[in-house]
Amino acid sequence: MGPRRAHPHSGPVEVLDLARTQGASPPQAQPNEGLSMLRFMASRLLTVVPMLLILTVIVFLLVEIAPGDPAAIIAGADASPEAIEAVRQRLGLDQSVFQQYVSYVWNALQGDLGTSFATNEPVTDVIARRLPRTLSIGLFAMLMVVILSIPLGILAAVKRDSLYDRLLTGTSVFLLAVPPFVLAAILVKWFALDGLQIFPPTGYAPMSDGMGEWLMYATLPAIAIATISLAELARQARGAMIDALEQDYIRTARAKGLSKMKLVSKHAAKNAAVPYITVLGLNVGRVVGAAVIIEAIFNIQGFGQLGVTAVINRDIPTMQGVVLVSGVIVLLVTLLVDISYGYLNPRIRNT
């Protein structure tokens, strides 16, 4: 009787490991595997181009749909019609819409996003000053989410239907129902004002002031941003791991006496990673949205607050810059998620 064949749904990692456990020779790596990955990455990069064009159209149309005349806003309330017309010509608003769009895209490609109506500074400079604050806190929050959600979810999957599993599920449901701004207010009260008074209640310190100082100011905002994503991704890690552990190739490996640790780390983890990474990528948009409220609560002059201030002041170039940069960030994260699919599952990149 020949060796048992691998289940058709098992990936190359599982086939390789099962072949080793059965004493058979592992399959040789395909010589064109690297080339197929490069082709897959190139195809995904090409799909981003039309999405970027659509994004620029949406951003450009903010000028058309925004109330008021940009030239009149810049010229001032007491400006004469001649002064307003001069500003309109200087901004190129007297050109056709298509010409204005081409000019906007061309300037954006060179890093010129216009000049802020409110501060008369280049929008690129304003964003470059504000964006690192939001990115540092957002990345810190996502790092918390990944470090905590994966082991919590895997442990719940391995101990399915146990007291710990029920406790994690119940806690996740509760945290998903708590808005970030409510949690932020609780954190400030307990850990900055009336309670332990460990962290400062408001403000921000850049990393150039020292990692310790930065952590003191970034921890509470990062926790407030991360909590909902942590609850969702812990549940996702649990569900994905349960599905992976119920596959036939896992049952085969379990029947051959492999330990639970090896089953999880060597066989199930890679397949369970695909849905987890999908939800992780979707949560980037949630982090950007939460930053608007959280930065207001903690008085952090970051990227989210820049967008709010631009809307209040009808600062159209800054509004355009915030929307454009936010969209590019989401598109880049989506691209990385797509590329990770091809790395984790060779069948995806070969289709």
**Tens digits of per-residue pLDDT, 111-168?**
999 888 888 899 999 999 999 999 999 999 999 999 999 999 989 988 888 999 999 9
Residue 234 pLDDT level (bands cut at 50, 70, 90): very high
Task: Output DSSP code: residue 264.
Answer: I
Which distant-in-sequence residues (6+ apart) come within 8 Å of 228 by Cβ? 175, 176, 178, 180, 286, 290
Closest among 308, 277, 328, 339 to 135, alpha carbons compared? 328
* Whole-number pLDDT of residue 62: 78
Average pLDDT over residues 278-287: 85
Residue 69 pLDDT level (bands cut at 50, 70, 90): confident
Closest among 276, 293, 257, 321 to 124, alpha carbons compared? 321
Instruction: Dump pLDDT digits (tens) for 19-31.
Output: 444 433 334 444 4
Tell me the pLDDT of the chain averaged across its residues: 83
Which distant-in-sequence residues (6+ apart) come within 8 Å of 224 by Cβ? 180, 181, 183, 184, 187, 290, 294, 297
| Dist CA 256 CA 176 (whole Å) | 40
Strand (E) or helix (H) holding 159: none
CB 326 within 8 A of CB 59: no
Distances (CA, A) of 151 to 17, 261, 265: 23, 12, 11
CB 254 within 8 A of CB 172: no
| Dist CA 239 CA 276 (whole Å) | 9
Is it the case that residue 324 has pLDDT exceeding 90? yes
Average pLDDT over residues 83-106: 84
Distances (CA, A) of 72 to 99, 117, 333: 21, 11, 38
Residue 106 pLDDT level (bands cut at 50, 70, 90): very high
314 vs 23 pLDDT, higher one:
314
| Dist CA 227 CA 238 (whole Å) | 17
Average pLDDT over residues 271-292: 84
Residue 233 pLDDT level (bands cut at 50, 70, 90): very high
* Whole-number pLDDT of residue 33: 66
Average pLDDT over residues 206-213: 91
Say what the pTM is: 0.79
Instruction: Dump pLDDT digits (tens) for 238-275.
Output: 998 888 888 887 778 777 777 777 777 777 777 788 88
Average pLDDT over residues 287-304: 89
Instruction: Dump pLDDT digits (tens) for 176-205.
Output: 999 888 999 999 999 988 878 899 999 999
* Whole-number pLDDT of residue 1: 44
CB 166 within 8 A of CB 276: no
Distances (CA, A) of 336 to 34, 291, 329: 17, 22, 11
